[in-house]
Structure 1
Amino acid sequence: MSDSEFETAPLPPEQLDEDDRLKPEFVRNVIDRVEAGDAAGARELVEPLHPADVADLFELVSPEQRRALAAAVADLLDGDVFSEMNDWVREELIDALEPHEVADIAGQLETDDAVALIEDLEEDEQRAVLRALDPDDRAAIEEALTFPEESAGRLMQRDLIAVPEHWNVGQVIDYLRATEGLTTDFWEVFVVDPQHHPVGTIQLSWILRTPRHIPMSDLMKREQTLIPVDMDQEEVALRFQKYALISAAVVDHAGRLVGMITVDDIVHIIQQEAGEDVLLLSGAGEGDINQPLRDSYQARVRWLIANLFTALVASAVIAAFGAAIEQMVALAILMPIVASIGGNAGTQTMAVAVRALATNQLTQSNTIRTIKREIAVALLNGITIAVLVGVGAALVFSNPQLGAVIAAAMLINILIAGLAGVLVPVLLERLDQDPAVASSVFVTMTTDSMGFLAFLGLAVVTGLVR
């Protein structure tokens, strides 16, 4: 965590609104000065801002204005600002910088933030930036880039405090005071054996409140949560959440301590993963308003095309009962209700199932129990909606038989929606596929086609139409 994260000086009231967002008039004022060539005036306005607010400023202006703004306040664009910036906006600005400028910014950051800064660069640009870095920073970043994306190895910080278990508290305190170049931001001291395997942790507060002669082996907490270097960041976040961790040691395949992950990084990951699942459920890709138009189009259109083909299944069911629909217009009027309610019921169950899978609440141990629970919920919902729709249809069309048919169809479709809403995500997860990616397409296809089939089929079977 950088020193800037501890800045608490409030901004002048004219810059932020009651929700701590930059006011539109302030943003316009900055851009007006930039466009008028008054770089000094723009810099004077921007300088008091916290790095996170400077990052917000760049996200709020148009892509055409960002480069001019960056030129006007170039000396304020340090590593803290870039680490707070939206990925797409940051990538756009980084592309406009020279390799040595990117290297200067990366050198100011923790290893995990520096990796995030340069990992999306083109290979030749990445090599140029790495060559311009300090050798120690370059070695750490090159090592991090060897790990899979979104893994603990990419996320971890290399700067940590590790001491041997045979030291006492006094030796640790002297080491912390006398050794140059140690990280200044840490909550725990890791205790390691001669092979550099972590054997325990000690909170900094324990060290400060314990007599100097006490051995670290007597003071340390031996139970700890170790994070494998190749663990996915989502699983890392779940461990932090489950065990209420502040920091955790990251170990390589041989069990040696190679880094640590802190809770401030995990807060970002939790937010990112939660938003990602919601967007995947809707087929909106990354869903970032700063994402280039072409990328947004490509991410969304493929799921719309997939949905088009699955919609043909429902259309085929309707076509099979074309003659029945011609005999009774009321069927065509009521069909969208069956599909809409079923689709919403399926989406509700699917959202619950995807979230449960993402948070490890739904596992192989309780899958059957979860399915039974969702069927029970669907049954209660189905009975309620069926009664309301059935009575309403019977009264509106003066046809009790029609009311009974749509009530039965509604009950059937909501039960199917509940079953599909939990089974589809579970099946995708068992096939090692992200359940958030394609669940909505399959669930919608199931509820639409089965809803039409139940409604129109019952109309024919019961003799409502022939």
Structure 2
Amino acid sequence: MVKLNEETRESYLDNIMKAVITEEIETFRTMFLELHPADQTDVFLSLEPPERKRVYEFLSPDEFAEVFEGLETEDQKRIALELDDHYAAEMFNRMYADDVADFFSELEEDQAGVILQAMDREEADDVRELLTYDEGTAGSIMTKEYISVKAFDTVEDVIELLREKGPDAETIYYLYVVDEAGKLVGVTSIRDVITSYSDKTIESVMSSRVVSVHVKTDQEEVAQIIQKYDFLAVPVVTEHQVLVGIVTFDDVIDVMEEEAAEDLGEITASRGADVTLGPFQAAKRRMPWIVLLMFFGLGTAEVISVFESTLETVVLLAAFIPMVMGSAGNTGTQSLAVAVRALATGNLEKRGFMKTIAREFLTGFYIGVACAAVIIVLIGLFYGDFFLGVIVGVSIMISLGAASVIGTTVPMLINKLKMDPAIASGPFITTLSDVISLMIYFLIATSLLQYMQ
């Protein structure tokens, strides 16, 4: 299999393009099918519609299915419109059911229905089943292409089964053992099978201690289980322990990427506003948070108006407002990221709610002590007023501790309400920390005002 690097990509692409334009079918097939599937997808996307139409003629639905699976959803929608209905149906028949279901979930119901009608009945039924599960669950990301065997099967029987059905399975590293009712009773590996004597039964080489997930288990929890046990796949069962599918490692990678992108979007208050959107659509998705935070920001103005007399007495206090607010906001955002990460990995349960809060408070406080020491010296040297430095320094020290608690507590409380903790966005934490740190700053300054005059 050929893998393209930057040096060979351009010349190889030129040769493939030439073969497409001149309709040299065999030359095209030889060069294109030798490529790694990821490079096949890249090459295909670089073609113009007329050239792509010829590719559909040069490749069978089975061969093109691998290219189609490598496309992003938006590209899949665009390319699907270019395909002949019969060609498309045959292609979907050759794809793994979970990949087809992922694509159909992005289509209108009537569009998906038309294609399902044209597909083979067995393949269509598998896709329909996957579409019934709630998005984000193990059932929605599992694949139906797996190998199951019986406990009384011999090793020789299983090896013969692998020869017959192995090419169509998504993975054969694990073989799942089921009883007559389809219930999961054990698991064995391909290594255990091929290193055993042919007359041995699977029951003698299987493990009955099987780690499985329920069809309704959240996909993020599935990813954690696969990561924890270093699995290549995990079986999916119903409430009656009937095996209905498996979630493979590559599906988990997609889930982790999707969850990370989603959490980043939530934390930055820009969920869904990726670079593929136009400026208007992106602005529409980001705008609600920004408008909401404007109202929260009015709290800052209110705090300043309450302590207006303090500012009038010592005008220099105003110069350090951005420093106090910025330091608290940054620290709160750091604690937010730590808390969301701890919740996502399950480390929070191990450490405990109060211990985590105490740890983040002390972390923020210690950072504050270091910042206070630096700022006291700097203000004393540059402004000749060490007492003002003490006020600013102590305010930062307390504010950083408080901001750390806010950044940790808010996502934890949201998680307790069974909501995604990532919705405690960075801008929200920053704004809340701003208001509280400003209040701390002015309370300390007002209480010590008599010593500054």
TM-score, scaled relative to structure 2? 0.88
CA distance in 2, matches of 1:67, 1:332: 62
Alignment of 1:103 with 2:89, yes or no, is yes
Query: 1:223 is matched with which residue?
Result: 209
Query: 1:347 is matched with which residue?
Result: 333
Q: In the TM superposition, what whole-angstrom CA distance separates every residue of 1:76-130 from its partner, at most 9, and x where no partner exists?
A: 6922223222233333444565654543332221111111121110111111111
Query: 2:354 is matched with which residue?
Result: 368
CA distance in 2, matches of 1:294, 1:58: 30
Distance 1:235 1:285, change over 3 A: same
Q: Cα RMSD over matched residues? A: 3.1
> Which runs of structure 2 are paired with 1:5-24 in the superposition (5 Å)?
8-11=1-4, 13-16=6-9
Query: 1:19 is matched with which residue?
Result: none
Contact 2:232–2:248 (CA under 8 A) maintained in structure 1: yes
CA distance in 2, matches of 1:401, 1:360: 45
Query: 2:195 is matched with which residue?
Result: 209
Give 2:97's aligned amino acid. T
Instruction: List gaps (5 residues or longer) in structure 1.
Output: 1-7, 17-22
TM-score, scaled relative to structure 1? 0.86
* Pairwise CA distance, 1:421: 1.1
CA distance in 2, matches of 1:125, 1:324: 67
Find the residue that maps to 2:95 and give its secondary structure: coil
* Pairwise CA distance, 1:271: 2.2
> Which runs of structure 2 are paired with 1:37-48 in the superposition (5 Å)?
47=32
Alignment of 1:392 with 2:378, yes or no, is yes
* Pairwise CA distance, 1:243: 1.2
Give 2:274's aligned amino acid. D
Alignment of 1:289 with 2:275, yes or no, is yes
Query: 2:124 is matched with which residue?
Result: 138
CA distance in 2, matches of 1:94, 1:323: 68
* Pairwise CA distance, 1:198: 0.9
* Pairwise CA distance, 1:11: 2.2
Q: In the TM superposition, what whole-angstrom CA distance separates every residue of 1:320-368 from its partner, at most 9, and x where no partner exists?
A: 2234334444222211111111111111111011011011111286111
CA distance in 2, matches of 1:92, 1:317: 53
* Pairwise CA distance, 1:186: 1.2
Give 2:354's aligned amino acid. I
Contact 1:424–1:442 (CA under 8 A) maintained in structure 2: no
Contact 1:424–1:439 (CA under 8 A) maintained in structure 2: no
Distance 1:455 1:180, change over 3 A: closer
Distance 1:235 1:184, change over 3 A: closer
Alignment equivalent of 1:405, drawn from 388, 391, 409: 391
Find the residue that maps to 2:175 and give its secondary structure: strand
Find the residue that maps to 2:235 and give its secondary structure: strand
Distance 1:57 1:277, change over 3 A: farther
Contact 1:88–1:290 (CA under 8 A) maintained in structure 2: no
* Pairwise CA distance, 1:201: 0.8
Give 1:375's aligned amino acid. F
> Which runs of structure 2 are paired with 1:239-388 in the superposition (5 Å)?
239-363=225-349, 366-388=352-374
CA distance in 1, matches of 2:148, 2:356: 44
* Pairwise CA distance, 1:258: 0.9
CA distance in 2, matches of 1:273, 1:303: 20
Query: 1:191 is matched with which residue?
Result: 177
Contact 1:347–1:440 (CA under 8 A) maintained in structure 2: yes
Give 1:228's aligned amino acid. H
Query: 1:5 is matched with which residue?
Result: none
Contact 1:161–1:190 (CA under 8 A) maintained in structure 2: yes
Contact 1:190–1:200 (CA under 8 A) maintained in structure 2: yes
Q: In the TM superposition, what whole-angstrom CA distance separates every residue of 1:175-219 from its partner, at most 9, and x where no partner exists?
A: 334569853741111111121111111111111110122221111
* Pairwise CA distance, 1:416: 0.6
Contact 1:285–1:296 (CA under 8 A) maintained in structure 2: no
* Pairwise CA distance, 1:67: 5.4
* Pairwise CA distance, 1:276: 2.1
Give 1:193's aligned amino acid. D
| Overall identity of the aligned pairs, in % | 28
Find the residue that maps to 2:116 and give its secondary structure: helix
CA distance in 2, matches of 1:39, 1:90: 26
Contact 1:55–1:86 (CA under 8 A) maintained in structure 2: no
Distance 1:179 1:67, change over 3 A: closer
CA distance in 2, matches of 1:86, 1:105: 16
Q: In the TM superposition, what whole-angstrom CA distance separates every residue of 1:10-40 from its partner, at most 9, and x where no partner exists?
A: 3265345xxxxxx7x999x79xx89xx9686
Alignment equivalent of 1:167, drawn from 129, 136, 153: 153
Q: In the TM superposition, what whole-angstrom CA distance separates every residue of 1:47-101 from its partner, at most 9, and x where no partner exists?
A: 4653323445677x7xxx9757744654569222232222333334445656545
Distance 1:463 1:251, change over 3 A: same
Number of residue-to-residue matches in the alignment? 443
CA distance in 2, matches of 1:332, 1:130: 67
CA distance in 1, matches of 2:441, 2:192: 69
Distance 1:316 1:122, change over 3 A: same
Find the residue that maps to 2:153 and give its secondary structure: coil
